[in-house]
Amino acid sequence: IAGTINLDRPVELVVGAIGQDTVLAGIVRLLERARGSRPRIALAADRAARWFVAGILAAALVVAGAWLLVDPTRAFAITLAMLVVTCPCALALATPVAIAAAIGTLGRFGLLVTRPDALEALAAANRIVFDKTGTLTLGPSRVARTETCGDLGAARCLAIAAALERGSAHPVATAFRSFEDPALVAADLREVGGAGVAGVVAGRSYRIGRLEFALGGGSLPQAPHDGADRVWLAVDHQPLAAFEVDDQLRPGSRAVFDELRALGLEIEIASGDSAERVVRIARALGVERYAARLTPADKLARLQAIQQSGPGAIMVGDGVNDAPVLAAAGVSIALQSGTALAQSSADLILFGRGLAALPRAI
């Protein structure tokens, strides 16, 4: 429920809805809404068809009057022929038929269209912006290194971190799953988008996430590193440990990016993650434009600046902190594995583990 991700624990299911109340039925309704909506280009075709009909009727009256003067026996046949060959059916029907075909084709590619207006923006966009964590990556696969700076040992710090991250849908949380201790349960959990998670474990208040958030106003640790590429654990505003977490690229991402560049799109990565990890992913994908340590507000401002300087941008994201920028984008794409809020803010939903459908869709 509400974005929960279960990786390796048994699940006991209680059926609470069937038929039209199921998630599958909801997806079908989204698809039907997309097919039934009237995008701007279809409305423009309808308006053009109305003016076209009026113009043809006026021209037919002129032709009929002229032929009544020249040869009355042929006036009716020629006027009728003119009306037949200038019938606006093709103009009025071609656009919605093309849109319906495009939506069906995108569905076969693995993209569910929820707003048909996205088709126009998808064709006109000259730039595509990607979130990193959970979008370009499958989520951190492991905690590469733990560095303690308090009284607790590494194993205890990892167990506390796992308790705090247990209820989080963020991909970083999956790196701590293997360190869970059933005896440690976190209470009063509060997740702050783009910052981290706070909660109470064994009666003490802990925070895990960015260094600034974890310390919550405490003094910076005296350590040989600045925490730029680390997830920090702190208690009562004092640091306990820093965790280095590895990322794993989605399969085939480099080939997808090469195809997007071949289509003439400029590619940019806008991430809330550390600069070091963003640079590593950008280099692996051959991307020259990227930004790190962005808050949700920073991402939104960056996208608005991009859209003011060009025809439009495609935004691809998956998390809660991506929802505002997805809603503001000219066309937005959320991943099936993303949060419900991101999906409800997006124009298209991408199914599957890879990104190969994106260049095909464009």
| Residues 75 and 81 sit within 8 Å (Cβ to Cβ) | no
Per-residue confidence (pLDDT) for residue 226, from 0 to 100: 45
Q: Could you identify the residue written with the tokens 């293997």?
A: 178
| Residues 313 and 127 sit within 8 Å (Cβ to Cβ) | yes
Per-residue confidence (pLDDT) for residue 32, from 0 to 100: 58
Based on the residue annotation, tell me whether 236 is a catalytic residue of this protein.
no
Per-residue confidence (pLDDT) for residue 160, from 0 to 100: 92
Return per-residue pLDDT of the chain as tens, 362 residues.
Answer: 556 677 677 888 888 888 888 766 765 665 455 445 555 665 676 677 778 878 888 999 999 999 999 999 999 999 999 888 877 666 667 777 888 889 899 989 899 988 877 888 888 888 999 998 888 987 656 787 898 987 889 999 999 999 998 877 776 787 888 899 988 899 998 888 778 899 999 889 999 988 888 888 655 554 444 444 688 999 988 899 999 887 778 889 999 999 999 999 999 999 988 788 899 899 999 999 999 988 888 888 888 888 887 767 899 998 777 878 888 888 899 998 887 777 877 889 998 878 999 999 88
d(CA 184, CA 193): 24
| Residues 168 and 197 sit within 8 Å (Cβ to Cβ) | yes
DSSP 92-109: HHHHHHHHHHHHHHHHHH
d(CA 27, CA 112): 9
- The encoded tokens of residue 285 equal 């994908």
- The encoded tokens of residue 70 equal 């020249």
Q: Which pTM was predicted?
A: 0.58
Backbone angles phi, psi at 160, to 5 degrees: -65, -45
d(CA 172, CA 138): 10
Catalytic residue (one of 117, 131, 229, 318): 131
**Local structure of 330: helix, strand or coil:** coil
* Non-local CB neighbours of 74 within 8 Å, separated by 6+ positions: 67
